[in-house]
Structure formats: C-alpha cells, structure tokens
Structure 1
Amino acid sequence: MIRVLVILCTIIGCITAHMCMLSPPQRGSLIGINNKAASDCGLEQGPCGGRNPMSPQYGAKSGGNYTVSFQKNLDHWTAATPGQFTVMMSDSKTMDFKLLAKVADKGEPSLTVYSVNVTLPTRPPNTKVIMQVVYETNNPQAPPAFYQCSDMMLF
C-alpha cells in the first residue's frame, strides 16, 4: 500500500507544476515558487495558462533591451528529446505572439533560474503588451507545454 502511495505521489508531483515567470512577474501569485511543483507554476492552457489579463504593473522602453527571468520549477528534461523555453511578446489586442528568444533545456535541476536579454519590439507609447514564457517539455511522459504571461506597458 505504501509503495502504491509513493508511486502515486511521484506521478502527481510530475504533472502538477513546472515553470514560473519572475521578471516581469507572472499573472497570479508567486506563492511557493521555492518549492518544487508550486501550484502557480503548472499552467498547461495556452496562451497564458488560462489566467485573465491584468492592468499593466510594469513598463519598459519600446525598442529597448529587457531582461526576462523565469524558473524551471519542476524539471521535465529528457536526453532523447530535450525541450526548450521560448520568450515571446504580443500586443494585448492581437494575441499574435512573436518570438524574442529561445533557451535550451539542458537538464538543469528543478528550481533553476534562467535570465535572457531580449530586444523589445518598437511600438507607439502606452502600448499594452503581453510577455509570455513557454516551457516546451518535448517529453512524452509530461504535458507538452507550460505557460506564463505578464502584462506590461511599453513607453
């Protein structure tokens, strides 16, 4: 019985949480992100984990450089088919995400923090945008992707 319970907990732990967006902060909370399988990090529904848009709390210079930071909250790396993280941005009205950067998943452990510098697209002042990070697991034993978004204002 204990063996079955341990196996079940392992399976549940592997399918419940995976990637958190730190900067800019993700929609929702960052509660528990220093623990593997934090519930706010396991959003499987694209494009933004099923979370509703928020009023932009962060701004950045249109056409400027910006550092995006995110955490692999639970590792899903597999040597046969390694995954990746993609950083994208869209105007909040179009939801047409454009790739800004890719980061290979090289098997770093759970709770690893990644930072990538991106050049933001040039938009008119006061344009609301959505920054999105997707963890594409490419692991047949895991969900295909995990999504996080942050609402920003370009100035």
Structure 2
Amino acid sequence: MSLFHTVALFCLVAACSAHLCLINPMQRGSETGINKAGAADCLLLTAPCGGRSKDTAGVTLTGGQSFTVVFQKNLDHWTKATPGNFVISFGSEGGQLTTLATVMDNGEPSLTLYERTVTIPLTKGNFILQVTYNPNNPQAPAHFYQCADVHVI
C-alpha cells in the first residue's frame, strides 16, 4: 500500500469513526469534550479498555443488585443496511467477559444517551464493566471500547 493510500485510509477512518463514551459508571481516563461529536476521549479502538490503564478510583457496586449503565454514542456511524449494536459486558480484564445486555443501534443521532439497567453478577472482587460499540459498518473500525473499573461487594 502506498503512503498516499495509507494516509487516505487513515483520514477516512478518522472522519467516519463512531465514537463511544461511558457516563455511568465513569469511564477510565477523562471525559473531555464529550458534549461535542467526535471527542477524542470517545475514540478508543484497542480491546478491552481502549488502551487505558486501570483507574484506582472506580466505583463500588453490590452483587445481585440492579445498576443503570449510561453511555453515549458520541459520533454516529449507523448504516441502514447493516445496523450495529452496543454490548455491555462484565468480567476480569484480560479474562472472559460475560454479556449483561445488548442494545441495538437504530440510527439515533450523535450525542444520544442510552440507558440500560443490568444486574451486577454475585462474584465479589475487582472487575471491569465494558461497553463496546460494534457499528457493523465496513467504512468504520469494527469496535469501539470503554471500560469502568468496579469493585463488587
């Protein structure tokens, strides 16, 4: 691939990317600029947590209780022919994650907030709550990741 094609592909991905931010619980790192579509803190492409390190603050949750997860489609990249989804998962970082909920992307605009109530697993200890945006669009990255650190009691 020539340098021109590489640069063109990078620009296309950057311009077409669908971004994801995790509001509740708060995502690792910052939430700078999330009130504007295309925020850099919402463009994390590396599994499982966007390349961000564990956050010592995190949140404490009680196993077996309901918890409302709030996330934002910061920049839309929906396609009618192949709509994507958001997946809320829970587990150990680097281990197998359990899907708690799947939310379809129905073409809502950029900056839309989604809420989904999930039941926190009964396992005690330190875990991640991960939200993944899977746009299912060949012109966008395959997955976008956000994580929050949780301590289950």
Asked if Structure 1 and Structure 2 have the same fold, meaning a TM-score greater than 0.5 normalized by the shorter chain, the answer is: yes
Q: Contact conserved, 2:66 with 2:120, CA < 8 A, in 1?
A: yes
Alignment partner of 1:101 is 2:67 = no
Report the Cα distance in structure 1 between the residues aligned to 2:147 and 2:76, rounded to whole angstroms: 20
Q: Contact conserved, 1:56 with 1:153, CA < 8 A, in 2?
A: no
Report the Cα distance in structure 1 between the residues aligned to 2:123 and 2:57, rounded to whole angstroms: 15
CA RMSD of aligned residues (A): 1.8
Report the Cα distance in structure 2 between the residues aligned to 1:61 and 1:76, rounded to whole angstroms: 35
The 3-state SS of whatever aligns with 1:73 is strand
Report the Cα distance in structure 1 between the residues aligned to 2:46 and 2:58, rounded to whole angstroms: 23
- State TM-score, norm by structure 1: 0.87
Residues 50-82 of structure 1, C-alpha deviation per residue, up to 9 Å, x if partnerless?
111122431111111110000000001000000
Report the Cα distance in structure 1 between the residues aligned to 2:39 and 2:81, rounded to whole angstroms: 26
Q: Percent identity?
A: 48
Match of 1:13 in 2: 15
The 3-state SS of whatever aligns with 1:40 is helix
The 3-state SS of whatever aligns with 1:26 is coil
**Structure 1 unaligned residues grouped into runs of 5+:** 1-7
| Equivalent pairs, count | 144
Match of 1:132 in 2: 130
The 3-state SS of whatever aligns with 2:15 is helix
Equivalent position amino acid for 1:103 in 2: V
Offset of 1:13 from its aligned partner? 2.9
Match of 2:115 in 1: 115
Match of 2:143 in 1: 145
Equivalent position amino acid for 1:61 in 2: T
* TM alignment of 1:40-79, pairs within 5 A: 40-79=41-80
Match of 1:38 in 2: 39
Match of 1:3 in 2: none
**Structure 2 unaligned residues grouped into runs of 5+:** 1-8
Report the Cα distance in structure 2 between the residues aligned to 1:102 and 1:80, rounded to whole angstroms: 19
Match of 1:27 in 2: 28
- State TM-score, norm by structure 2: 0.88
Match of 2:90 in 1: 89
The 3-state SS of whatever aligns with 2:41 is helix
